[in-house]
Structure 1
Amino acid sequence: MERSQKCLICTPLIAKTVNEMLFQLQLAKESGADVAELRVDHITDFNAESDLPLLLKDRPLPVIVTPRAKWECKADSNEGYEGNEEARQDLLRKAYELGADYIDVELKVAGEFVKKLKDSSIKSSTKIIVSNHNWELTPSQEEIDATIEQMWATGGDIVKYVTTAKDITDVARVFHFLSEAKGRPTIGLAMGPTGMISRLLSPKFGGYLTFGALSKGQESAPGQPTVQDLIEVYRVKSMDRETVVCGVVGKPVYHSKGPILHNRGFAELNLNYVYVPFLVDDFAHFMSVYSESDFRGFRY
């Protein structure tokens, strides 16, 4: 699937069985998602040879096959692929051979993996997402830019750089590298409560896709909104680079009904505005970072 003008909505599926994931795949289609991420590392005793064909046959929407490595998951979590690294990469190769729309491979192993895959005799239209997750913090802009260039150097088709926001101002660095992607398909998100705006505003800053959970309690990463909220409350499918950002500032803030009320009003008035919640610790610091014309109105 080629890059569309609009940011795609991807819903991660974290079912424990193949049958449950097939059911969730249909729900993802019905929810309005554009893509589903098949987190096959969550499936107990997953068998690539028998289970992948079942998941990919007659799929109702494009999919990303992701057997996330344990060493790429949060250190204190129980997530991640249970098999050895060779078996995990064989799973990715099988998904590529079967024509999955996307596969996700981590930067740590992407260089050699992508080269071997593209040098092989396998002919596939599968897009390769090269990903990197920082569960501790959001690095400096220079460090982020250097890592992203390293990711592109692997030969992947799409780059996915995910950080952890300790403060809402960290997200500005995510918006920066998305805006500076120069047409290269890039996914950029910040995890955690203060990183929520990275997911809501990704379409404005040129993100290739953003993630939304199928429902509350089915998030694959902290700070993930639902597909329903992305579409119905924040109208991300109509958001573009010209969208003007307003919002409510506070701590706590996610209980506010402001986004529901204001975004509904913007829709009725046909205004290209969005109203989002900003979880802010230091208001002066927040204002010094988000002072550009893209951000025009805050309610404290």
Structure 2
Amino acid sequence: MAWRGSLLVCSPLECESPGEMLTSMEKAKAEGADLVELRIDSVSFSHFSMAEMLIKKRTLPSIVSYRIESSRTACNGDRKNACMQVLRLAIDLDVEFVEMDYEVASDISMADYAYNRSNSKLIVSSYVNGGKPSAEKLGYLISCMQSTGADVIKLVIDVDYITDLAPIFKMLSLCQVPLIALAVGSRGLISQLLGPKFGGFLVYGSLKDREIPGMPTLVSLRQVYKVEHINVDTKVFGLISNPVGHSKGPILHNPAFRHTGYNGIYVPMLVDDIKEFFKTYTSTDFAGFRYTCIPNPGCSTHNSQVHITMVSY
């Protein structure tokens, strides 16, 4: 598989046993994943050799990752040692991608090992929280992460509002190395749907029977949104509401766009403050919206003061 110049669709797999992980991998393959992320820290192993067996039996190109904080191993020292073991094993087995936390990649012993890798591509990841991320903060972090020798940078970002995604989209379009940006939670959904438009290297989709809040399913990415056809010229339309999960608009309008040959995408947008939304997303790439205010505490009381020219779909 060629990694450069083509969008990748990945399914993150967290499973309790190697057998369950292999079964989930087959489901991901059937639902349209190009590759899977094998969260080795989620699996209970009776012996380390089982991790090697699992990696060798993979039926899709894979990202092998190990989160120290969420590992099933009891003590912190054991978790770090297990993490190092798994990641070194993945490099030795020439797994397509090996993902390391920024802190792990900065560890001298792991840095030397990763530097001498032969075929595996190195993804260096960081979890960003603590308020609205600025483009300056993200840019500085990306620069630091690049210094580890990363082939790909991955940011997992905790967002409170849909407007917090604007600097993330900016970084996707400006970053000089392949960048993965995953915004956590229901307001981060469009980080995956619009990631390809702004230059994202990879987007995530969940299995149909294991939905993850704020993450589209593999089936919707492939069948509803057809993300492989989204590019820099794609115009963005959508439903603005809170809540927005009820919308059938994407199922209706995205096939209509494709049928007419129009390069557009229709997405659900969970918006808390419509005034702030339109102050933030001023680009003509955001071409039209349907606005529905369902009476609830999340629907801003200031909406009536906003004068909007909208295309209603």
Same fold (TM over 0.5): yes
User: 2:10, 2:35 within 8 Å by CA — same for their partners in 1?
Assistant: yes
Q: Report if the CA contact (8 A) 2:114-2:122 is conserved.
A: no
Tell me, yes or no, if the aligned pair for 1:99 and 1:125 is still in contact at 8 Å. yes
Q: Which deviations, in whole Å up to 9, do the C-alpha atoms of 1:153-174 show, x marking residues without a partner?
A: 1111110011111111101111
1:90 & 1:57 partners in 2: Cα distance?
Answer: 15
Determine the C-alpha separation between the residues in 2 that align with 1:119 and 1:7: 26
* Contact 1:162–1:189 (CA under 8 A) maintained in structure 2: yes
1:172 and 2:166 correspond: yes
Give 1:10's aligned residue. Answer: 10
The aligned residue for residue 197 of structure 1 is 190
| Unaligned segments of structure 2, at least 5 residues | 292-313
Offset at residue 96 of structure 1 (A) = 0.5
Distance 1:148 1:115 in 2: 17
- Residue in structure 1 matched with residue 151 of structure 2 by the alignment: 157
CA RMSD between the two structures: 1.7
Shift of 1:100: 0.8
Counterpart in the other structure of 1:299: 290
Separation (CA, whole Å) in 1 of partners of 2:195 and 2:216: 13
- Residue by residue, what CA displacement relative to the aligned partner does 1:56-96 show, whole Å, maximum 9, x if unpaired? 335322100111120xxxxxxxx335243122111100111
Matches within 5 A, 1:33-182: 33-45=33-45, 47-48=47-48, 50-70=49-69, 79-82=70-73, 83-111=78-106, 112-120=108-116, 123-182=117-176
What secondary structure does 1:84 align onto? helix
Q: Does 1:265 align with 2:224?
A: no
Kindly indicate whether structure 1 or structure 2 has the higher relative contact order, using CA contacts under 8 Å at least 6 residues apart: 1
Distance 1:157 1:98, change over 3 A: same
Aligned to 1:74: none
Q: 1:191 Cα deviation (Å)?
A: 0.9
- Structure 2 counterpart of 1:23: 23
In structure 1, distance between residues paired with 2:287 and 2:46: 49
Q: CA deviation at 1:113?
A: 4.9
In the alignment, the residues of structure 2 paired with residue 115 and residue 20 of structure 1 have an alpha-carbon distance, to the nearest angstrom, of: 32
Describe the shift of the 1:294–1:114 C-alpha distance in structure 2 as closer, same or farther (beyond 3 A): farther
Are the counterparts in 2 of residues 250 and 279 from structure 1 also a CA contact under 8 Å?
yes
Q: Runs in 1 of length 4+ with deviation above 6 angstroms?
A: none
Would the aligned equivalents of 1:67 and 1:81 in 2 still touch at CA under 8 Å? no
Residue by residue, what CA displacement relative to the aligned partner does 1:167-215 show, whole Å, maximum 9, x if unpaired?
A: 1110111100000013x11111211111111011111111110111112
1:45: how far off? 2.8
Larger displacement relative to structure 2 (242-251 or 129-138): 129-138
Q: Does 1:280 align with 2:271?
A: yes
Q: Structure 1 residue 51: deviation in Å?
A: 2.0
TM-score scaled by structure 2?
A: 0.87
Separation (CA, whole Å) in 1 of partners of 2:166 and 2:109: 32
**C-alpha separation in 2, matches of 1:113 and 1:204:** 38
Q: Deviations over 1:237-296 (max 9, x none)?
A: 111111111101011111111111011111211221000011111111101111101110
**CA pair 37-119 structure 1, distance change in 2 beyond 3 A:** closer
Task: Give the residue type in structure 1 aligned to 2:32.
Answer: G
C-alpha deviations, 1:14-72, integer Å up to 9, x for none? 11100111111111111110110001111113644x123322335322100111120xx
Counterpart mapping for 1:171-250 below 5 A: 171-182=165-176, 184-219=177-212, 222-250=213-241
Encode CA deviations 1:106-127: one digit per residue, 9 max, x unaligned: 011212355311455xx52001
Partners of 1:238 and 1:89 in 2: how far apart? 38
1:242/1:113 CA distance change after superposition, 3 Å: farther
Q: 1:106 to 1:46 in 2, by over 3 A?
A: farther
Would the aligned equivalents of 2:45 and 2:51 in 1 still touch at CA under 8 Å?
Answer: no
Checking the alignment, whether the CA contact within 8 Å between 1:243 and 1:274 is kept in structure 2 is yes
Q: Which sections of structure 1, spanning at least 5 residues, go unmatched?
A: 71-78
Task: Quote the Cα distance in structure 2 between the aligned partners of 1:113 and 1:192.
Answer: 34
Greater Cα radius of gyration, structure 1 or 2: 2
Report if the CA contact (8 A) 1:114-1:154 is conserved: no
